């Protein structure tokens, strides 16, 4: 069927000779056009030279062009540059009489690539009719189908265990997945690995059987994997972990789903793991966080510059007066003054201006911290968990949490937001230190307990710790060891804790890593 403008078809000739019959044919043609325009699929008619001569509404919507634009285009205009040759070759096959049902990638007007299924057939007129079905959503759901396949593999593993743990069937299934799959016994010895595991770490299933992670990976990484396996067995349920695993080209991050396998009598006999490489995703997340941190740093620097300028402006005049009075007093003393009243006047002036400088500084700081700080009874353990979640979700770095919270800790009298800021600052400092040192396993230990009439919190990382000079100056304003740090975080944190009636300090004898403590008074 030809709907292209200007075509002198036999029907049009008959329309000139037989108006009534021609009108009927034209009505049929319009009805067919309407039918195609109401079809759920897209239809295109292509001239032998590849130009489009008809497109229904669905084709216009699918490709993003209107009918007039498509009438000036050809098949090659909708094909990706890397698929031009194959597309034109397949078009020639249809012109030769072949009927083809194929998947193609087409380029929309807006540049987006879409996946379509095209059924092409040669019409009696010598033109090609193409029926297009958008399968982009089907391809988009591939990840869900893959996850379903993984879930199915796990189900097969469980059924296989119930029927005698047929390892050969399990191996055949898991060898067809791109994920790393493994099974370990209760002591951490490998029972089976899939083909992907063998390819990545250059070890066969037979060679790995009976060995442990310590035989393949550094001690820190192996111990972290073993700790995750023990936790899965302890809770008796599936858990997800992010694990850093050494590769030939450097460390890779895996998202590992681990779950226990149970025998005929309901006893766990092994741990199964399915691990997917998410290294690239983590790299992009860290890059995004770095950009966000740069913007935040610029804002902090601007505020710090404005604050310093304000302090300098307000203190300049009284300090100049102090200097002038002091120079006058020294001059009188050097000249052996016989007027004690003048000397006393100069010294009193210096004292008054020094007091004025102090008052000015306090007033300015009060202005910069304007607004009443609301303190209320706060569950410190809840604030600790919120701070850990905030630090873990900030993208600054990955770390394993060791949390030891006192269950009977009374509420503290504090401002929840300020205490959380202090905790997040300590956690981020620890994670940054471990990342900068290249620690293969980053661990942050957080502990709460009661010490006499105060609540005490400890935050310790597993990084390289602080040298004596850095430890001595760590709370000084504007002192920092970070290339882009401002050196205000710990100074502000200490000021906030002391404003609550507590203390913040660094344990200089902590051994490995940096260990910070702070205290807060109880609400009653």
C-alpha to C-alpha distance for 373 and 339, rounded to whole angstroms = 51
> Cα(16)–Cα(6) distance, rounded to whole angstroms?
15
**474 against 231, higher pLDDT:** 231
Q: What is the pLDDT of residue 63?
A: 92
Contacts of 285 (CB under 8 A, 6+ apart): 395
> Are residues 183 and 166 in contact, defined by beta-carbon separation less than 8 angstroms?
no
- The DSSP symbol for 362 reads H
For the chain, list the domains and their CATH numbers: 10-136 (3.30.450.20), 142-277 (3.30.450.20), 287-368 (1.10.287.130), 376-521 (3.30.565.10)
Longest dimension (CA), the chain: 136
pLDDT at residue number 28: 57
Q: List pLDDT tens digits, range 40-55.
A: 789 999 999 999 988 9
- CA–CA distance, 476 with 307 (Å, rounded to integer): 17
Q: What's the confidence (pLDDT) of residue 11?
A: 46
Phi, psi (deg, nearest 5) at residue 318: -60, -35
- Record the tokens describing residue 460, joined without a space: 């310790």
Q: pTM score, two decimals?
A: 0.36
Helix axes 380-393, 416-437, angle to 10 degrees: 40
Residue with more model confidence, 474 or 224: 224
* Model confidence band, residue 298 (pLDDT cutoffs 50, 70, 90): low
Which of 146-150, 258-262, 279-283 comes out lowest in average pLDDT? 146-150
pLDDT in tens, 11-40: 445 455 546 555 654 665 566 667 777 777
In angstroms, what CA-CA distances link 119 with 41, 45, 319, 498?
Answer: 11, 12, 88, 75
pLDDT digits (tens, 9 = 90+) for 135-172: 878 777 776 777 888 888 887 777 666 655 556 666 66
Q: Which two tokens stand for residue 180?
A: 């790393």
212 φ, ψ to 5°? -120, 175
Distance in angstroms (rounded) separating the CA atoms of residues 156 and 7: 62
Query: Is 487:478 a contact under the CB 8 Å cutoff?
Result: yes
């Amino acid at each position: 069927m030809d709907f292209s403008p200007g075509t002198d078809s036999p029907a049009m000739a008959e329309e000139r000779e037989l108006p009534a019959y021609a009108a009927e044919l034209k009505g049929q043609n319009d009805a067919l056009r309407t039918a195609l325009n109401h079809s759920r699929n897209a239809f295109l008619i292509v001239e032998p030279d590849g130009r489009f001569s008809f497109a229904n509404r669905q084709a216009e919507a699918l490709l993003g062009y209107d009918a007039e634009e498509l009438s000036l285009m050809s098949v090659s205009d909708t094909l990706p540059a890397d698929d031009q040759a194959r597309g034109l070759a397949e078009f020639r096959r249809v012109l030769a009489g072949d009927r083809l049902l194929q998947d193609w990638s087409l380029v929309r007007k807006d540049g987006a690539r879409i996946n379509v299924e095209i059924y092409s057939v040669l019409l009696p007129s010598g033109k090609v009719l193409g029926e297009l079905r958008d399968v982009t959503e089907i391809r988009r759901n591939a990840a869900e189908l893959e996850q379903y396949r993984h879930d199915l593999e796990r189900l097969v593993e469980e059924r296989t265990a119930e029927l005698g743990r047929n390892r050969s069937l399990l191996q055949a299934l898991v060898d067809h997945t791109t994920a790393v799959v493994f099974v370990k016994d209760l002591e951490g010895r490998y029972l089976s690995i899939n083909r992907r595991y063998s390819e990545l770490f250059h070890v066969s299933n037979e060679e790995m059987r009976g060995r442990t992670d310590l035989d393949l990976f550094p001690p820190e990484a192996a111990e972290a994997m073993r700790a995750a396996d023990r936790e899965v067995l302890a809770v008796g349920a599936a858990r997800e972990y992010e694990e850093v695993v050494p590769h030939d080209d450097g460390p890779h991050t895996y998202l590992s789903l681990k779950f226990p396998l149970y025998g005929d009598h309901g006893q766990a006999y092994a741990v199964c793991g399915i691990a997917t490489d998410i290294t690239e995703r983590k790299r992009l997340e860290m890059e995004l966080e770095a950009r966000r941190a740069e913007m935040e740093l610029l804002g902090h620097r601007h505020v710090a510059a404005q604050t310093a300028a304000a302090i300098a402006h307000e203190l300049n005049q009284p300090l100049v007066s102090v200097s002038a009075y002091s120079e006058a007093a020294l001059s009188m003393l050097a000249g052996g003054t016989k007027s004690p009243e003048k000397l006393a006047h100069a010294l009193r002036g210096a004292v008054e201006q020094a007091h004025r400088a102090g008052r000015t500084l306090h007033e300015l700081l009060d202005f910069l911290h304007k607004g009443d700080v609301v303190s209320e009874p706060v569950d410190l353990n809840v604030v600790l968990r919120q701070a850990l979640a905030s630090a873990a979700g900030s993208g600054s770095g990955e770390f394993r949490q060791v949390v030891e919270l006192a269950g009977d800790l009374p509420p503290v009298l504090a401002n929840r937001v300020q205490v959380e800021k202090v905790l997040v600052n300590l956690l981020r400092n620890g994670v940054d230190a471990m990342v900068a040192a290249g620690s293969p396993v980053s661990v942050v230990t957080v502990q709460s307990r009661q010490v006499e009439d105060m609540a005490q919190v400890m935050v310790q990382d597993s990084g390289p710790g602080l040298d004596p000079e850095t430890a001595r100056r760590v709370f000084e304003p504007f002192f920092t060891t970070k290339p882009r740090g401002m050196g205000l975080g710990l100074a502000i944190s200490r000021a906030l804790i002391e404003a609550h009636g507590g203390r913040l300090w660094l344990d200089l004898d902590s051994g490995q890593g940096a260990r910070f403590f702070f205290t807060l008074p109880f609400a009653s």
